[in-house]
Amino acid sequence: MPRVPRMVVTDSGQKAAYHVISRTALDGLPFGKVEKDVLVRIIQRYSAIYSVEVLGFAIMGNHFHLLVEVSPGGSMSNEEVRTRFHLLYGEGIGFPEGRLEEYRERFCSLSAYVKDIKQRFSCFYNKRKK
């Protein structure tokens, strides 16, 4: 059965809270203490980059729950967008000024936030299990 589309608040001046659930496709309970600790650190890192505040979380043996509050992009200054870009990619990477609005939108996107968390964790997990 396909996932029900996420209902996202589109009012640019309003914060919104979301309950996020993500489950692994692996059999059994692949998240041990090390994996859970790494996932928490990844969530903390991306919460500092994205305009997302974690209100609560639970990491289980094969899935996790996040309760997050996402702030609207209109409240993010141009300098804040640049700062978040450098947190993500490093100080040595030049900021693409022509893509300022694209990054402002991305850093307030719940979907991009969750995608980056899952991608970073998958890279860690797959590298560790090889």
When pLDDT is averaged across residues 29-43 and rounded to a whole number, the result is: 95
The chain-wide mean pLDDT, for the chain, equals: 91
Cβ count near 73 (within 10 Å): 17
- In which band, very low, low, confident or very high, does the pLDDT at 13 lie, cut at 50, 70 and 90? confident
Number of domains in the chain: 1
Q: How far apart are CA 93 and CA 127, in angstroms?
A: 25
| pLDDT above 70: residue 33 | yes
Residue 46 lies in a domain: yes
Does this model's pTM top 0.95? My answer is no
Instruction: Check if the beta carbon of residue 108 is closer than 8 Å to that of residue 81.
Output: no
CATH code at position 23: 3.30.70
Residue 119 lies in a domain: yes
Query: pLDDT digit string (tens) for 73-123?
Result: 777 899 999 999 999 999 999 999 999 999 999 999 999 999 999 999 999
Residue 9 lies in a domain: no
| pLDDT above 80: residue 45 | yes
Residue 4 lies in a domain: no
Residue 27 lies in a domain: yes
Closest CA to 89 of 116, 66, 64: 116
Residue 11 lies in a domain: no
Percent of the chain with pLDDT over 70: 91
Residue 7 lies in a domain: no
- Domain ranges, residue 105: 16-129
Residue 118 lies in a domain: yes
| pLDDT above 60: residue 6 | no
Pure H helices in the chain: 33-49, 78-89, 100-106, 110-129
The token duo for 27 is: 């059999």
- In which band, very low, low, confident or very high, does the pLDDT at 7 lie, cut at 50, 70 and 90? low
Instruction: Check if the beta carbon of residue 118 is closer than 8 Å to that of residue 14.
Output: no
